[in-house]
Amino acid sequence: MEHFVTAAVFTYPHEIAILKHLLQDAGIPFYFQNETMAAFAPLYANALGGIRLLVHPNDLPTVKDILDSFKYNNHLKIV
């Protein structure tokens, strides 16, 4: 995990719920830094820089593609 890079930053835990499954299905090793802090103290997680999606640099292009397709093809609306 020490060689992982930040692929994206999120504010709330619900923003990463489905993304976790997409990354697991693609077989990409990942880690969400500050995920636990955001679950029980959202304002502290924000102060720490948000929830960071960390991936291996070799997987970064694939992860960016997943993020782009998730962002623009997502019909889920969280209200």
Q: What is the pLDDT of residues 58-68, one digit of tens each?
A: 999 999 999 98
- φ and ψ at 28, to 5 degrees? -95, 125
**Which of 17 and 43 is assigned the larger pLDDT?**
17
- Please work out, in degrees rounded to the nearest 5, the angle formed at the alpha carbon of residue 24 by the alpha carbons of 42 and 14: 25
Looking at the whole model, is its pTM more than 0.85? no
Give the Cα separation of 13 and 46 in Å (integer). 11
